[in-house]
Homo-oligomer: A and B are copies of this chain.
Amino acid sequence: MSIHGKNFLMVPGPTNVPDRVLRAMHRNSEDHRSPDFPALAKTVLENIKWVFGTTKGRSFIFPASGTGAWEAALTNTLNKGDKVISVRFGQFSHLWIDMMQRLGLEVTILDVDWGEGIPIDILSSYIAQDTRHEYQAVCVVHNETTTGVTTDIAAVRNILDRYHHPALLMVDGVSSIASIPFKMDEWKVDLAITGSQKGLMLPAGLGMVCASEKALERSKKNNLHRVFFSFEDMIVNNDVGYFPYTPSIPLLYGLKESLAMLMEEGLESVYVRHRRLAHGVRRAVEAWGLKTCCKNPKEYSDTVTAVVVPEGFDAQQVIRIAYEKYNLSLGAGLMKVRGRVFRIGHLGDLNELMVLATLAGTEMAMLEVGIPIKLGSGVAAASEYYMKTSKQVRGLFNNV
């Protein structure tokens, strides 16, 4: 019966595309070599820098995914055999490390239990010991979408600064940028990476990288192969307002619109809104008597919550029932935590009632699987929090 009405898309990406953005993308192709095209290209290339928190960096938009953006960051700045250091605390950090290895880099991997954040002390000791500066890069995931654990990037920066280590700081901000605070310039991130299908509220199809001057310097002499993902080809073309090959024009118009929406709201408000919605979800988990996968409250992600099902239950069943009975799309547990967690994505174009509907659907699905929670308890806990922190707004329509 759930085939009727809206699908509740609550996976941690791709996120819901606002109607305004869908409308902006509904257009015929146009000549990407026309004299009018640069106005579009330059607008989006400039405006995404604001989302990354950089004025000094250079932005790149590849017609690819976040995976492509990872590859662009690595291949444009490193050399075959380079040593890099990274932390593995979920599937996405795992996959990025796997890419590094397949590209011929030598990776020092710090493994932690999934649900824990990056071990600042251990990382620090590795950096401290690397007095010959063999590590060419420190690669960290800002928000591990697998577990709902967020990394303190400023703390990582501090380690490098403390030891005057010249390694590039590469940060995967795929599920954080445009949703929780990201401050590329302040944190001196050298390569910040994101995709279009999360906080930017677009379909997948754009992989974005911002590079610091130091990263750009390295890209002039490094030797990993790349053509499609070449910074240099992009720079030559972007400088005059074009792309080296045919860009995905609807996505660029969509990006222009989603950036306009973020600007209208203001990044600080965007962050507050994500935090508030996330708090509600965590209140619900507490009310259900369950645990989040993320162990340390300081590392709670404001974009995704991985909920641990009690011993003896299969989280995959919860997800299947939520989808097949209630048209609710929850995120699966990945790899090590498969079957043990389900994930609620709470990022992008969301509001209170979308979250509350999700909690209601999750309650029914859990109960059907036999997980002993009280119907309405999570919704009530979240509602109470939202009610206490609500504000009145106006002008929902007509502006746009």
Contact = CB atoms under 8 A, between A and B. Distances in A.
Contacts of A66: 245-246
A246 B29 contact: no
Given A353-B361, A363-B383, A364-B390, A246 B65 contact: yes
A354 B326 CA distance: 10
Nearest to A287: B376
**Total copies of this chain within the assembly:** 4
B26 A16 contact: no
A323 interface: yes
A132 interface: no
A240 interface: no
Contacts of A9: 28-31
A350 B4 contact: yes
A314 interface: no
Interface in A1-32: 1-9, 11, 13-17, 19, 22-32
B364 A387 contact: yes
A387 B367 contact: yes
A103 interface: yes
B364 A375 contact: no
Interface in A338-394: 349-354, 356-358, 360-361, 363-364, 367-368, 374-377, 379-381, 383-384, 386-387, 390-394
Contact of A227 (B4, B40, B71, B227): B71
B395 A36 contact: yes
B349 A353 contact: no
Contacts of A7: 28, 30, 396-397
B249 A203 contact: yes
Given A1-B276, A323-B35, A376-B376, A26 B29 contact: no
Interface stretch (A120-128, A154-162, A296-304, A327-335): A327-335
Given A9-B30, A17-B29, A104-B225, A351 B326 contact: yes
Given A30-B7, A360-B357, A393 B325 contact: yes
A273 interface: yes
A215 to B, nearest CB: 19
Contacts of A2: 351-353, 393, 396
A357 to B, nearest CB: 4
Contacts of A381: 376
A216 interface: no
A67 interface: yes
Given A9-B28, A33-B332, A204 B397 contact: no
Contacts of A328: 353
A272 to B, nearest CB: 8
A400 B290 CA distance: 39
A60 B357 CA distance: 38
A156 to B, nearest CB: 24
A200 B50 CA distance: 36
A354 B357 contact: yes
Contact of A3 (B8, B99, B395): B395
A320 B397 contact: no
A228 interface: yes
Contacts of A102: 225, 227
A324 interface: yes
B67 A64 contact: no
A39 B13 CA distance: 20
